[in-house]
A and B are shown apart, each in its own frame.
Chain A
Amino acid sequence: MRTISYLEAIREAIIEEMKRDPAVFFMGEDIAAYGGAFGVSKGLLQLFGPERVRNTPMSEAAITGVAAGAAIAGMRPIVEIMFMDFITLAMDQLLNHATQYRYTSNGQIKVPFVLRTPSGGGRGYGSTHSKSLEPLLQGIPGLKIVAPSTAYDAKGLLKAAIRDDNPIIFIENKLLYSKVSEVPEEEYTIHLGQATIVREGSALTLVSYGRMLQESVEVVTQLGAAVEIIDLRTLRPIDIALITASVKKTGKVLIVEEGFKTGGLAAEIVAQIVERCFDYLDAPIKRLASEDIPIPCTPILEQEVLPNKSKIMKAIRELL
């Protein structure tokens, strides 16, 4: 099978969906002629023209509000927020508007748009361009959150997200953009809300997503340990059924995420595991996440703050 990068997979998904459905259009800061901060949308302007590939002013609130409005009016916008750190500027539109209309209109209004945004550290971008703010979005009813860890998942999930009738946050990890994996040329989508077991094992359930999932896979492969690795793929709603089935088998859990530890995604997953399969736990659940401090710019300090392979290895060893 051919291999393409995570970034190319995302671009392919956008192109295919824009070709398939004239209601799909793309907008964001510097995404047209420049091709976006990370080059995801390079070539899109030439393919679809300025009507469907639109630069916006530097206002995340405006971008998100316009997307929600266009979605209500029957369009299916894709928007790019240049860094996930800036999503706080779009919070009011997300939390108080876009995600509520479907409920408050008793289902009469649909708000189908996808907000793509790159997250995560590891490139020395410092505290305002390195965060993984997934947990901030966890508690928003009506929102779906998707975070692929491979090129294959990125394409399948993005296509499914564009076709979904709800506001969706699509989280892309910066360091994954260049990662290459097998992606078929044939059309496919991946159901939202479904996690997947990327490696089977009986001794420990490791739950992760995004870049940390890939780091975990490398560590476990190196250790050769009987660790079952679950890629969440969708962060909201969490596929708790798959997780609990695995926990019932292994009795031990490690959750690895790149966001801050306090109030993190892992905290929610731990709570749901304890609610559903307390009697199967054979050890305290372990969480591995970023330290609760702003992400430093200095690469050495940044590595200290973010989870990494050696921290994952240590956590696995402590549990096995």
Chain B
Amino acid sequence: MYTIILPKIEPNTEEATIVEWLKKEGDFVKKGEPLYVIETSKAAIEVEAEETGTLRKILVPEGKTVAVLSVLGVIGSEQEPLPDLSSFSAPPMGNKLELAEQAQKKMESQGPAPSLKASPAAKRVAREQGVELHQIPATGPEGRIVESDVWDYLKASEETGKNNQKGRVLIIGAGRGGEVVVDILLQNGLVVVGFLDDNETLWGKELLGKKIYGGLGLVDQLLSEKMFDSTIISITSNMKLRKKIYERMALKSIPFVNAIHPKADVNSSVELGKGNIIGAFAYIGYGTKVGNNNLITAHCNIEHHNTLGSHILFGPGVMTSGNVTIHDECSLGAGVNIEPHVTIGNNVAVASGSTVIYDLPPHTVLKREVKR
């Protein structure tokens, strides 16, 4: 008596659906003959019998999804009595999913992964200097970050200019933009203190392990308590709100930080304002001036001698030529191309994929037909 076991056909396949049995119970099957068809996330595959004999029992019917290495059926001689098959019955996927969910919940209830090792002195210096510990290479015993590691890191980052912005940043907006900004700031070696967000349901919760303190009204209190050194707005979906908040904060003289992805390439001659988010692989060329609170997403190419205002949204892959001027509060969709010397007035919206050849007056919308 042999058991038919669902093989682990591809390295990443953990489960498969039995699409079709090519033999019925009681049929004779020869070793090497196609026996059943499975479908994985990658392909439908015919599986051959590994033994010769009678297909005595099918345990997993067609249409069921089971984990690899589950017992699918039994091959043996017709005379042999069947063994107790209850122990072979493969758990249906529903159970597996539940188990996975339970395991996940258990992991979550156990809290975050064990924190990295750092001496109290290293922690204090990192806190005082505004550096996140996780990026500091540890040289102490048992992989402990010691005080000299922090100083070495600070010295090295000063030399490479990577950590030219220091301090603890409070992020405004705890949505998906918030996650993006945290990621960029941490890669820059800045400390993220937490978030403010006017969405009450988020208050007291955490995003990426950082606390959401409350609404924007808290900013004065947190500032007076010296809880943070600078701020940045992470809102990426509503540029009007972004502008409103920026101006409100600017009135209070709250310092803004730029969030520049380490893989972005900002020419050293660029005059960069504050509160800008600049994504990965964005390029800003020689002599370009950038205002405040702009959102320049990944792969944007801002060429030389451009003049950019403030509160502008650049969709991914916006490409400007040289000497382009873009005024405040514009919104450029993904993949917009702009010819040299073009001036775009304030509050202009340009649809994704457009090519702008002429100047656009303020408050205009450049539409582009999209085939559906």
| Chain A interfacial positions (CB closer than 8 Å to B) | 251, 278-283
Contacts and interface: CB of A to CB of B under 8 A. Distances in A.
* CB-CB nearest 8 A-B residue pairs: A282-B121, A279-B124, A282-B119, A282-B147, A251-B121, A281-B120, A279-B120, A282-B146
Contacts of A281: 119-121
A251 B140 CA distance: 13
Contacts of A283: 119, 140-141, 144, 146
Given A278-B120, A279-B120, 5 more contacts: A251-B119, A279-B124, A281-B121, A283-B140, A283-B144
A203 to B, nearest CB: 10
Interface of B: 119-124, 140-141, 144, 146-148
A253 to B, nearest CB: 12
27 contacts: A251-B119, A251-B121, A251-B147, A278-B120, A279-B120, A279-B121, A279-B123, A279-B124, A280-B120, A280-B121, A280-B124, A281-B119, A281-B120, A281-B121, A282-B119, A282-B120, A282-B121, A282-B122, A282-B140, A282-B146, A282-B147, A282-B148, A283-B119, A283-B140, A283-B141, A283-B144, A283-B146
Contacts of A251: 119, 121, 147
Nearest to A280: B121
Nearest to A318: B141
A283 B119 CA distance: 6
Interface centre among A251, A279, A282, A283 (most CB of B within 10 A): A282
Contacts of B119: 251, 281-283
A280 B144 CA distance: 15
A278 B121 CA distance: 8
Q: Dominant SS at the A interface?
A: loop
B305 to A, nearest CB: 50
A251 B125 CA distance: 12
A279 B122 CA distance: 8
Contacts of A279: 120-121, 123-124
Contacts of A278: 120
Contacts of B124: 279-280
Interface centre among B120, B122, B146, B148 (most CB of A within 10 A): B120
Contacts of B120: 278-282
A251 B145 CA distance: 13
A252 to B, nearest CB: 9
A279 B144 CA distance: 15
A205 to B, nearest CB: 13
Nearest to B118: A282
Nearest to B146: A282
A278 B120 CA distance: 6
A280 B124 CA distance: 7
Nearest to B144: A283
A278 B148 CA distance: 17
Nearest to B128: A279
B143 to A, nearest CB: 13
Nearest to A279: B124
B216 to A, nearest CB: 32
A301 B290 CA distance: 76
Contacts of A280: 120-121, 124
Contacts of B144: 283
A212 to B, nearest CB: 24
A250 to B, nearest CB: 10
A247 to B, nearest CB: 10
A251 B120 CA distance: 9
A280 B121 CA distance: 4
B270 to A, nearest CB: 39
A281 B123 CA distance: 10
A236 B123 CA distance: 32
A283 B148 CA distance: 11
Contacts of A282: 119-122, 140, 146-148
B217 to A, nearest CB: 32
A278 B124 CA distance: 10
A282 B121 CA distance: 5
A282 B120 CA distance: 6
A289 B175 CA distance: 56
Nearest to A247: B121
A315 to B, nearest CB: 13
A283 B145 CA distance: 10
Contacts of B146: 282-283
A251 B122 CA distance: 10
Nearest to B121: A282
Contacts of B141: 283
A282 B146 CA distance: 6
A251 B141 CA distance: 15
A279 B119 CA distance: 8
Contacts of B121: 251, 279-282
A273 to B, nearest CB: 11
B226 to A, nearest CB: 17
A279 B147 CA distance: 11
B339 to A, nearest CB: 58
A319 to B, nearest CB: 10
